[in-house]
Amino acid sequence: MIFSWNDTRKVRSENALAIAVLNDQDKEITPDAIHALRAYEIESIAWSRRDKYIE
C-alpha cells in the first residue's frame, strides 16, 4: 500500500487521502507502524476505533 500510494503521487488530486485500517484486536499497533505510514502521508485508524470514523 505504501509504495502504491507513493508511486501515484503525481497523478492523483491534491486532496486525495489514503487511510490504513490497522488490526489491533490481537496485539497493539506499534508507534513505528504509525510513524512509517505518516512518513508517506497515510493516515491510520485502529480497527477498534473504526466506528468513530463512520459518518
CA atoms within 13 A on the CB side of 50: 9
Structural domain harbouring 30 = 2-53
- Measured in degrees and rounded to the nearest 5, phi and psi for residue 18 equal -110, 135
The predicted model scores a pTM of 0.78
Residue with cell 508507534: 31
Using 50, 70 and 90 to split pLDDT, how confident is the model at 1?
confident
Tell me, what's the pLDDT at 33?
Answer: 95
Tell me, what's the pLDDT at 51?
Answer: 92
Domain count, the chain: 1
Residue-wise pLDDT for 8-49, tens only, equals 888 988 899 999 999 999 999 999 999 999 999 999 999 999
